[in-house]
Structure 1
Amino acid sequence: MSEAPSATDGSKGAVSTPSASSARPSDEMLPFLNNFHDIFTTIGVLILLGGMGVAIGQIMGGLGIEEGSLRWQMALMGLFGGFAIITWLLAALLVGHQRRILPGIVLCGAFSTAVTIILVWAYGQFLVQGVGIGEDYFESRFANAPDEMEFGREAVAYVLSQLPWSVRLLPVVAGLAALIPVAMFYFSFRLPFAGGLMGVALAVLGALVLFTLDPYTTGTFAPAVGVAVGGVLLLAGIIFDARDPERTTRLSGTAFWLHFFAAPILLSAVLNVVQVGWTLEEADFVNPEQTNLMAALASDSGHAAQLAAVALIVIALFALVSLLINRRALIVSGLLTAGISIAAIVNQSGLEAPVVLAITLLSLGGVVVLLGAAWNPVRRVLLAPVPAHGPLARVFPPVSAAEG
């Protein structure tokens, strides 16, 4: 969400806002765009980043170093480091000074990706060059492994017993490598997108810590862990919204992105729970295609129609929550799954593919248009029992008389 007018961003004639206790936000503003100048600048940023990528490829090709060697990797990481520095300087100008949101999203993604790659590579080199963990190491450690060891807790425990903690911590290191640049970006520029991305990184890092401590149990409860990660992000978004019920500051912008990221994670996790249960069986690890959600929805079996019906019920619950907290991001993130689910149900009637597609698009589009047109009237009905002031009003913002 764009920043509230302030002296720091050069805005003039700021309109006074109602007190926080009234909690009457207007329709959601764009949390990723200030104006068309953002789009214009973003086009330039994308072209510049693309040119830098091509330049890196040309430089690496002209060095004459054996591809894949340590010197080649060090040269590539050095160029990635230069790429990260340039993106940071651009962010300091465009985001830190001019508060350009959309270019900031692109630069945040580019900077975070480059730094994450460098950090993971550096830890990998620490393992290989410093600790001496390479192909020979693994061959010696697993030379006496049982020939016919079936997958299970004992097999996982045996593998872990042969690995030092420096290797076992690799998932946590990867999670930290993804978190550090995003946190740097957020705390330096206070970009809401970076705040939402940092929330995702923190939630995933928590899951990776559990996986590192007990990979078998965490893997077995993977569907439940997915629900927990999505639920934590959704709760974090609600908390950030409650701190800014007027939806005028970066707190609300961060909340938007937390909701945006939470919705697909939570939706897919809940549907996986419906499909396979709260835990995975050992056969699911051996044949992971059995847990493929989209493949199950796309099949012609009756189970696909049942799963699709459950998906629509879950998305309907998302829509209800969206109406209550006045956040459309939860619905938008579930539109693709909703479309696939409608198609899976209609497909059971035996109609031809073009007819199924037409019915799916008409149904999905009609619902979205009707919901958009009746958003505030429906919210007014749903929130009739909720007090217009107080703590609940900060979580469930009431509809003002000025809103249609």
Structure 2
Amino acid sequence: MYSESDIENAVAAGVISPEAATAFRNHTAQLRSAPAVDEEQFKLLTGFNDIFVAIALVLSLGAIGQIGWQIMQPLGGAAVAGAAWLFAEYFTRRRRMALPSILLLLAFAGGVAATMIGTLVRLEIDVPERTASLIMGGIALVTAGATWLHWRRFMVPITVAAGAIALVATAAALVVGALGLGQDALYPLGLVGGLGVFALAMWWDMSDRERRTRRSDVAFWLHLAAAPLIAHPIFHMLGVLDNNVDAARALLVIALYLAFAFVALAIDRRALLVSSLAYVLYAMYALIQQTGAVELSAALTAFVIGSALLTLSVFWHQMRRVVVGVLGGLKDRLPPVHTPLGPQGIPA
């Protein structure tokens, strides 16, 4: 599987001409009846060997972490972080393997955080709750700095999203610790952080509207990180998961999902729809139950939502053309709206 960034790298290296790259993209779009910009392409696998190596890395890093933890708690995380960096020198920098690179980045960031947490466990420090929040903010900040170093060295697209999440955790922990807020404050703080990550994702997206470079991959992971940070706090503050979903609240959840669908169509990203899917399923389930169809509520919910998503998928291009048309001048900053090609390469 070849991503858009691979094609661009091949053009930059002189392996293929820009004209050939464009012809290849058009041919692929014709076969799929969908332009590449709407496919949200990102590289997860370069081949089955990615899965083979990923399994080996999970086993190896897990063993390294466990052995190090048994020797001394901080050593477990430090050993994982160091090993992940060394493995990345080969599997990421030289082999450019997609899935192993993602796992190694996550292992490195997790190892850095685990080293500091292990140190606290080792020292058995008992501190007030506010101080603990400030310490956790510091741990998140150091982890964000470590991911920045990893990005500078390896430039794995998911790294920016990992760093952004670490910075959101830093800000939330520092605010909670400094102001002495309760745990419920984490939800509005998470929502603000999610909107910030979404804005960052849009900045990366707008710098590559045709989605032909690594910047689009970075934006994809940022959108994937922002979506749950936005959706979960909103639906939690609405009390969707408190087993008290009345008809009005269920309709509000469905309305919010439609709003998310509008945003998803406008920016040509589906992460918001996926992240909020569980909530709208639950709300629809409760709504159908209240109509008296208790035995069929689960089946009817799955049928209604599944049919809606399939319809959205089939008519994505047409719906997106309408949505972007409504936005007026903003369309020049969003991914372009393409007309799918028909069987003979003629716009459908």
* TM-score > 0.5, shorter chain as reference: yes
**Structure-2 residue corresponding to 1:241:** 205
TM-score for the superposition, normalised by structure 1? 0.71
Shift of 1:223: 3.8
C-alpha distance in structure 1 between counterparts of 2:228 and 2:151, whole Å: 23
C-alpha distance in structure 2 between counterparts of 1:368 and 1:200, whole Å: 28
**Structure-2 residue corresponding to 1:12:** 15
**Structure-1 residue corresponding to 2:254:** 312
Residue 205 in 1 paired to residue 170 in 2? yes
Residue 33 in 1 paired to residue 44 in 2? yes
Shift of 1:385: 4.8
Shift of 1:324: 0.7
Shift of 1:248: 1.3
C-alpha distance in structure 1 between counterparts of 2:229 and 2:197, whole Å: 9
Equivalent residue in structure 2 for 1:268, among 224, 232, 236 = 232
Judged with a 3 Å threshold, the aligned counterparts in structure 2 of structure 1 residues 394 and 113 are, in CA distance, closer, same or farther, namely: farther
Shift of 1:49: 2.1
Larger mean Cα displacement after TM superposition, 47-56 or 197-206: 47-56
Contact 2:158 2:218 survives alignment (8 Å): yes
SS at match of 2:5: coil
Q: Which runs of 5+ in 1 are unaligned?
A: 19-23, 61-71, 139-158, 276-292
Shift of 1:76: 4.6
Judged with a 3 Å threshold, the aligned counterparts in structure 2 of structure 1 residues 29 and 40 are, in CA distance, closer, same or farther, namely: farther
Shift of 1:247: 0.9
Code of the residue aligned with 1:358 in structure 2: it is: A
Offset from partner CA, 1:287-328 (integer Å, 9 cap, x none): xxxxxx42x2xx3x4x44433322221111111001011111
Aligned-residue Cα RMSD (Å) equals 3.1
**Structure-2 residue corresponding to 1:192:** 157
Larger mean Cα displacement after TM superposition, 359-368 or 47-56: 47-56
C-alpha distance in structure 2 between counterparts of 1:101 and 1:10, whole Å: 20
Equivalent residue in structure 2 for 1:333, among 248, 269, 275 = 275
Judged with a 3 Å threshold, the aligned counterparts in structure 2 of structure 1 residues 385 and 271 are, in CA distance, closer, same or farther, namely: closer
- Percent same amino acid among aligned pairs? 23
**Structure-1 residue corresponding to 2:85:** 88
Shift of 1:359: 0.8
TM-score for the superposition, normalised by structure 2? 0.81
Contact 1:245 1:394 survives alignment (8 Å): no
SS at match of 2:174: helix
Judged with a 3 Å threshold, the aligned counterparts in structure 2 of structure 1 residues 121 and 34 are, in CA distance, closer, same or farther, namely: closer
**Structure-2 residue corresponding to 1:361:** 302
SS at match of 1:45: helix
Contact 2:206 2:333 survives alignment (8 Å): yes
Contact 2:172 2:189 survives alignment (8 Å): yes
SS at match of 2:236: helix
Residue 379 in 1 paired to residue 305 in 2? no
Contact 2:50 2:98 survives alignment (8 Å): no
Q: Which runs of 5+ in 2 are unaligned?
A: 23-34, 342-347
Code of the residue aligned with 2:99 in structure 1: it is: L
Equivalent residue in structure 2 for 1:44, among 45, 53, 72 = 53
C-alpha distance in structure 2 between counterparts of 1:11 and 1:115, whole Å: 40
Shift of 1:172: 1.5
**Structure-2 residue corresponding to 1:342:** 284
C-alpha distance in structure 2 between counterparts of 1:204 and 1:225, whole Å: 9
Higher RCO (CA 8 Å, separation ≥ 6 residues): 1
Aligned length: 326
C-alpha distance in structure 1 between counterparts of 2:117 and 2:14, whole Å: 41
C-alpha distance in structure 2 between counterparts of 1:271 and 1:324, whole Å: 22
Judged with a 3 Å threshold, the aligned counterparts in structure 2 of structure 1 residues 253 and 15 are, in CA distance, closer, same or farther, namely: same
